[in-house]
Copies of this chain bind each other. A is one copy, B any other.
Amino acid sequence: MPDHAASSPPAEEGGSGIGPSPGRSLRGSADQGVRALYRRVRAATEALAAPLSAEDQTVQSMPDASPAKWHRAHTTWFFETFVLASRLPGYRVFDPAFGYVFNSYYEAVGPRHPRPSRGMLSRPGIEAVAAYRAHVDAAMERLLDGGDEDVAALVVMGLHHEQQHQELLLTDIKHAFSLSPLNPAYAPPPARGPVGKPASPGWWQASGGIHAVGHAPSGDPMDFAFDNEGPRHEVLLRDHAMADRPVSNGEFRAFMEDGGYRRPEFWLSEGWALAQASAWEAPGYWRRDGRDWVVHTLHGLLPVRDDEPVLHVSFFEAAAYAEWAGMRLPTEFEWEVAAQARAGTGLPAGGPCEHPRPLVPGLRQDVWEWTASPYSAYPGYRPAPGALGEYNGKFMINQMVLRGRSCATAEGHERPTYRNFFPPGARWQFSGFRLAAGA
C-alpha cells in the first residue's frame, strides 16, 4: 500500500483554500536552492496540520489511512533515517523507539509498528512530534550547509515524499471526519458562484505511432522524478480521441439515474461484488438529502454541484461509467502524450475539487484521473538499491495508474510523467476520470 501523494491549492486560489500553500511548491524554487525549498515544504506540512486539534491528529479511521501526527512524524523519520543517519557525522537520533513507530513499510530498515494500529499511538503527542520535527530540521540545516550534490538529490526526494504525505494528510482527515456524527469541517466553506451548465466536453484527436514516454534524468537535483517514472522509453499508440475535461457530477448523475449502480452489465466482476457488498449507490461521501444529494467535504456538508468534476469514485465506477457511455478510459501513455503536447498550457487534467470551480474553458480542473493501465514496471526498470528501492517497485501489482494531480496536490509536485497508483476499489483519494474513444 503506497504512502504517497499530497498537498494543497495554490495561494492565488484565495482565502478559502485548504490551508496555506506558498511553501508547497517545489518547481519554481530551483533558483533558491535546496535549503529554501526544505524550509518551505516542511513549513507547509505544519501549516496543513495547524487547524487540527491534538485529538484530530491522533485518530485513524481505517487501516489505509494514517493519523495526521503520524504523517508529520513519518516524513521526519524519513530524513532522519535516509539522510541524517548516514550523512551528518555525530547526528544524535531523537528517540530510538521512533524507528519502530514511524517506519511505514521499509522491510530493510527493520520491524515496524503494524499499520492498522497507528491510531493506537497516543504517544508521542503532538508537542513531542513538533519537537521531533524541530530536532531534525536543525540537523538538516547543519547538513545543508555542506552543499553536497548527492545530499541534495536525497533531500529533494525526501521533500517530494513529504508532499505526497501532505496530500494524504488531507485525504485521511477527510475520511476520519466523514465518520463523525458531528460533521466537523477542516476549513470554512468558500464563496461560490451559481451552478453553471458545462458544455459537452471537447475531444482531442490524437494520431497513432511511436511516442517516447517516461522521465529522463537531466542531472539537475531539482529536476526530480520517482524511479517508477523511468526509464524513458518508446510506446506504440493508436489513433484515438480524448475528452478535454473530466466527467462532471451532472454527467455522472445521468449514469446513476439510468441504473448505473444496479446494472451488472457495465461492471467488472470484482467491482460489482465490491459495490454490492459495500452497498454503493453513489460516489464516495455522497449522502442522500431528501431526493437530492449532499457531499461531505473538507468544508463540511455541501450540495453536490453538477458543474464540478465527479470525485471519490473508484476505478470500478470509472470503468462502469465508460462502459455505459460506450467509451473507455485512456491509457496512461495516451494521457502522458497528451499532457506533453499541452505542456505549455497546463496538464490535460484538472478541475476544482474541494473548493470547486465550474468546468468552463481555460480553467484547471484538478482531479486524479484513473487510467486503463495497470501499474507495472517500465522496460528496464530497476529499483534503487537498499531501503529506498522499496519506494515504488514493490507495489507493482493489483493497482491501477492515476495521472494528473488533485486540488490537494502541492503546487509543482505534478509533472506529465507522474504515476500515482491505488487499488481499483479505493475511493478516499481525490479521484475522478476522463473518457477516451477509439482503439
- Report B-chain residues with C-beta under 8 Å of the C-beta of A107: 264-265, 272
Tell me, in angstroms, the Cα distance from A61 to B271 when the chains sit together.
25
Q: How far is the CB of A393 from chain B (nearest CB, A)?
A: 8
Task: Type the 1/0 row for A95-119, where 1 means its CB is closer than 8 Å to any CB of B.
Answer: 0010011000101100001000101
Task: Type the 1/0 row for A367-408, where 1 means its CB is closer than 8 Å to any CB of B.
Answer: 000001110110110000000011000111110000000000
- Segment of A7-15, A155-163, A177-185, A281-289 engaged in the interface with chain B: A177-185
Task: Type the 1/0 row for A105-142, where 1 means its CB is closer than 8 Å to any CB of B.
Answer: 10110000100010111111110000000000000000
- Name A398's closest neighbour in chain B (CB-CB): B398
Let me know if B56 and A123 touch, CB within 8 A. Answer: yes
Any chain B CB within 8 A of the CB of A236?
Answer: yes
Any chain B CB within 8 A of the CB of A418?
Answer: no
- Report B-chain residues with C-beta under 8 Å of the C-beta of A56: 122-123, 125
Any chain B CB within 8 A of the CB of A1?
Answer: yes
Q: With A54-B55, A55-B122 as known contacts, state yes or no: A181 contacts B113, CB within 8 Å.
A: yes
Q: With A55-B122, A55-B126, A56-B122 as known contacts, state yes or no: A439 contacts B265, CB within 8 Å.
A: no
Task: Type the 1/0 row for A225-242, where 1 means its CB is closer than 8 Å to any CB of B.
Answer: 000000101111010000
Any chain B CB within 8 A of the CB of A243?
Answer: no
- Name A389's closest neighbour in chain B (CB-CB): B265
Select A119's contact among B59, B97, B267, B394, beta carbons within 8 Å: B59
Tell me, in angstroms, the Cα distance from A394 to B264 when the chains sit together.
10
User: A236-B236, A265-B389 provided; 11 other pairs, C-beta below 8 A?
Assistant: A1-B269, A56-B123, A56-B125, A59-B121, A108-B264, A120-B180, A124-B182, A268-B394, A373-B376, A379-B439, A380-B439
A-B contact pairs, 16 of them (CB 8 A): A54-B54, A55-B69, A55-B122, A55-B126, A56-B123, A59-B119, A61-B120, A105-B269, A107-B272, A113-B181, A120-B176, A121-B180, A122-B184, A235-B236, A238-B379, A270-B395
